[in-house]
Structure 1
Amino acid sequence: MNNFLRWSSGSTLLSIAMTVGAMAPMVITARAIAQTTSPSPSPSPSPGAAVNFSDVAPDFWARPFIQALAERKIITGFPNGTFRPNQPVERAEFATMIANAFEQNKTRPLAESGFRDVAANYWATSAIEEAFQTGFMKGYAGGQFLPEQPIPRAQAITALANGLGLSADGTPEEILRSSYKDVGWIPAYAINPIAAATQANIIVNYPNVQALNPLRTLTRAEAAALLYQALVRQGRVQPLANNVAAANYIVGRNSEVSQTTSTTTSTSDTSGSARATTTMTTSTSDNRGSTTATTSTTSTTEPGDIVALSALNFTTLGSAIQTAGLTDTLKSEGPYTVFAPTDQAFAALPKDTLRKLLLPENRETLVRILRYHVVSGEVTANELKGGQLKTLADRPVNIQVNRATNQIRVNDASVTQPNMQASNGVIHAVNEVLIPPNINLNQLRN
């Protein structure tokens, strides 16, 4: 509990500062076709002709959300009649969905030069600029937007909460604990926005309504669900009927909290980063009457590095990095790929091993072990290939990838949470501590 409360004091946006590489042209073209064939909707989008996608079955969990938005031309499918509901959503694609869905006033300017990694003729330039200027999405240090970076659920929910000017009524930590079983994975920057979005009934979790999966990449089906609920919040579409199966996955559906934004001020610098101070007036009604409270929150959107993310979600690893003196290395520009053992993985080491590793006399061994978990360069889960991958310990790890089951193994360890995002690389959580073959834990000093 104390750790979670401490996390809430941070406001760093823990997002990957991915090196934006060239993607296969056909992939980019497909995304562009799927998102740019629709004009921006009217303030109150009206349904048109029914839209059916060949890969969205009648009993698919998100079908009501997908069909409703497709009929309103807020989202589109692909030329072959598919929607690809489980395909990951990139930041440019989500920006386009936002631009199609909402008619918000501009709240902050974008530097005349724009984002340095978004060309003037890029297919989503206009949507990216609009999503930024209307307060939904934010840039990164160095004037980047990272348009082709997959967007995690926490970041997508945060964007919607920020753009709609939502704030939580009550203690965010308590709201989150009562709603989700995986609150420990929520990045510090997203705690307040996700709490607000939870109360606003915007969040949809399938198949387990209590599993937020904040660090998992957003899918197109999930994006449709979130956007639909955001439009419900605005009163622009009708809530799903209670007898619709998809309604069972809407978090806090029966919440009676209503919120209005009084004032919002934002400032932006040429790097694309923003600092926003928002004054919110929140009204809560219950059987005792109504109360009104005004709160002011300030947040910064500078992305966090691997060390910051490790400290939040990998307590033992974070301590080990500090003890080993690797903080400066993993705070540097990188980029790096880290296979991060969970706290449970460290706890599963032979008895007394962890205590010994953290002793000053075993520091060199600890450094070698930790460096064995780090790879130079950024390698996302989709980019990992079977075979050996050289680590900073000058010893390779063995990567095994099963695309059929989406399982990745590193030596004998399994990747339990891929693609955790940091400003200088990517983290993949693993369920075992990787021990280099030239290290004998039985020889640790006491």
Structure 2
Amino acid sequence: MFSFLRWSSGSAALLGVTMTFAAIVPVTISAPTVAQTTSPSPSPGAEVNFSDVAPDFWARPFIQALAQRNIITGFPNGTFRPQQPVERAEFATMIAKAFEQNQVRQLGESGFTDVPGDYWAASEIQEAFQTGFMVGYGGTLFFPEQPIPRAQAITALANGLRLSPNGTPANILRSYYQDAGWIPAYAINPIAAATQANIVVNYPNVKALNPLRNLTRAEAAALLYQALVRQGKIEPLPNNVAATNYIVGRNNAIGQTSSTTTSTSNNGSSTSTTSSTTTSTSDTRGSTNTTTSTTSTTEPGDIYALSTLNFTTLSSALKTAGLADTLKGKGPYTVFAPTDEAFAALPKETLNKLLQPENRETLTKILKYHVVSGELTTDQLKRGELKTLEDRPINIQINPGTNQIAVNDASVTQPNIKASNGVIHAINEVLIPPDINLNQLGK
């Protein structure tokens, strides 16, 4: 039942293989619009206030603490841009400032081919790689300007801090996250370890990891802060700070131990697990014991249910088109699911028109063009045409050197997301049937 959460030895190797499925996008080496990069200070400085970080903003304590240490910095106009996605080069720079880890490997003499020696973050990228935090794609590419997903960022911190899970990773993840089935294979062990180490911070729902969503600057500050707490470099946030509500496991104290008792029942159609977890925490103010009971299913949700977690635009479109019930059905189906970023790449007026009642038939055709009958994982996909529910074929291409899968002109960015009624493959473009002209949509 946990086949989609299995992990094999050699996490670094598996990460390298799995990440070859990431979108292969053109890399433009140009001066990015990033925060100021100053040298980190070993001790807190004066309080730093950003004009776009309100006093009651959920991540303000994390942001302020790291800004005082110059681990993270703002922009010249006095803003922090907390909701802005973090690019891989930027995250490497944050890591280089935050941690002083020993080198565990050597970057080859040629380095990463898409990171020239004069690139603004070249030395930080090299350090993040050599200290074991971050890896490249296919051994030669780093994709410095590609946004970093939350799963990848948490994995980087867990690997760099040499964390290992205590227990079965699948059980750990299921006990904490309602969307554990979305965690990529390479990230299962590291995220389980980071969760136990109280590094993971989820806002606004502490049980929603959103592993495929791009990391924001506010979230990066929270993760880095908690990683430094783990190292003993920063004090944990006080219990009365609201931000502690979003730390997985409520890391309000210095020490935490957990024990979980799990019982399983099978009613013939589904399997459920009830876990009782006792957590003991202690700090200089005393100790507390908390017992919680949670019930979760060990089977993943249906395709539509999973789409509401990490493919929000797609799920909205499915509902508008009247296809939600279809993808809640028995199936099985294979869905090539455009990410939110893929929909956002469409002209805004086009997306708005597609969601209007007068264009429902066109929207339905487009969405059905992303669905194939039967469950086809990546090892079952073959080169050539696949017939869709729209009764028109899509073209599957597989690069034998990198195992990169393309669907028409789109790339599979996250394969094999297991659902109870099939499988989802995330793609980075919206597929348009050849008989659809988006310029002719009704107003």
Give the TM-score taking structure 2 as reference length. Answer: 0.62
Q: State the SS of the aligned residue for 1:256.
A: strand
Work out the CA distance in 2 between the residues paired with 1:351 and 1:400: 25
The C-alpha deviation readout for 1:358-397, integer Å capped at 9, x for no partner, is: 9xxxxxxx9xxx8xx699xxx845433257xxxxxxxxxx
The answer as to whether partners of 1:316 and 1:346 remain within 8 angstroms in 2 is: no
Backbone CA RMSD of aligned residues: 4.2
Pair 1:30-2:7 in alignment: no
Q: Which runs of 5+ in 1 are unaligned?
A: 259-284, 288-311, 318-338, 359-365, 388-397, 403-408, 415-421, 440-446
**1:384 is matched with which residue?**
346
Q: Once the 2 structures are TM-superposed, how far is the Cα of residue 202 of structure 1 from its aligned partner?
A: 0.3
Change beyond 3 A, Cα 1:185–1:119: same
* Counterpart amino acid of residue 18 in structure 1: I
**2:374 is matched with which residue?**
none
The C-alpha deviation readout for 1:274-332, integer Å capped at 9, x for no partner, is: xxxxxxxxxxx989xxxxxxxxxxxxxxxxxxxxxxxx999989xxxxxxxxxxxxxxx
Change beyond 3 A, Cα 1:71–1:173: same
Query: Within 5 Å, which residues of 2 pair with 1:182-261?
Result: 182-254=179-251, 256-257=256-257
Work out the CA distance in 1 between the residues paired with 2:69 and 2:106: 29
**2:70 is matched with which residue?**
73
Identity between Structure 1 and Structure 2 (%): 62
Change beyond 3 A, Cα 1:61–1:225: same
**2:39 is matched with which residue?**
39
The C-alpha deviation readout for 1:387-414, integer Å capped at 9, x for no partner, is: 7xxxxxxxxxx74489xxxxxx992588
Work out the CA distance in 2 between the residues paired with 1:153 and 1:80: 27
Q: State the SS of the aligned residue for 1:66.
A: helix
The C-alpha deviation readout for 1:167-220, integer Å capped at 9, x for no partner, is: 001111111111111001100110000000000000000001010000000000
Work out the CA distance in 2 between the residues paired with 1:438 and 1:20: 28
* Counterpart amino acid of residue 49 in structure 1: A
Aligned equivalent of 2:109, options 108, 112, 126: 112
Give the TM-score taking structure 1 as reference length. Answer: 0.61
**2:18 is matched with which residue?**
13
Aligned equivalent of 2:159, options 158, 162, 184: 162
Q: Once the 2 structures are TM-superposed, how far is the Cα of residue 8 of structure 1 from its aligned partner?
A: 6.9
Change beyond 3 A, Cα 1:381–1:46: farther
The answer as to whether partners of 1:380 and 1:426 remain within 8 angstroms in 2 is: no
Work out the CA distance in 1 between the residues paired with 2:76 and 2:328: 58
Work out the CA distance in 2 between the residues paired with 1:19 and 1:374: 18
Change beyond 3 A, Cα 1:121–1:435: closer
* Counterpart amino acid of residue 22 in structure 1: T
The answer as to whether partners of 1:346 and 1:354 remain within 8 angstroms in 2 is: no
Moved more, 149-158 or 14-23: 14-23
Q: Once the 2 structures are TM-superposed, how far is the Cα of residue 19 of structure 1 from its aligned partner?
A: 1.8
Work out the CA distance in 1 between the residues paired with 2:33 and 2:177: 35
Change beyond 3 A, Cα 1:212–1:354: closer
* Counterpart amino acid of residue 21 in structure 1: V
Pair 1:411-2:363 in alignment: yes
**1:275 is matched with which residue?**
none
Q: Once the 2 structures are TM-superposed, how far is the Cα of residue 348 of structure 1 from its aligned partner?
A: 3.1
Aligned equivalent of 1:49, options 46, 49, 54: 46
Change beyond 3 A, Cα 1:350–1:216: closer
Pair 1:131-2:128 in alignment: yes
The C-alpha deviation readout for 1:30-80, integer Å capped at 9, x for no partner, is: 21xx142x2144xxx310011000000000000000000000000000000
**1:143 is matched with which residue?**
140
Work out the CA distance in 2 between the residues paired with 1:39 and 1:186: 34
The answer as to whether partners of 2:302 and 2:327 remain within 8 angstroms in 1 is: no
Query: Within 5 Å, which residues of 2 pair with 1:85-124?
Result: 85-124=82-121
Work out the CA distance in 1 between the residues paired with 2:317 and 2:2: 18
Work out the CA distance in 1 between the residues paired with 2:216 and 2:327: 39
Q: Which runs of 5+ in 2 are unaligned?
A: 259-278, 282-298, 305-313, 355-360, 368-402, 406-410, 414-424, 437-443
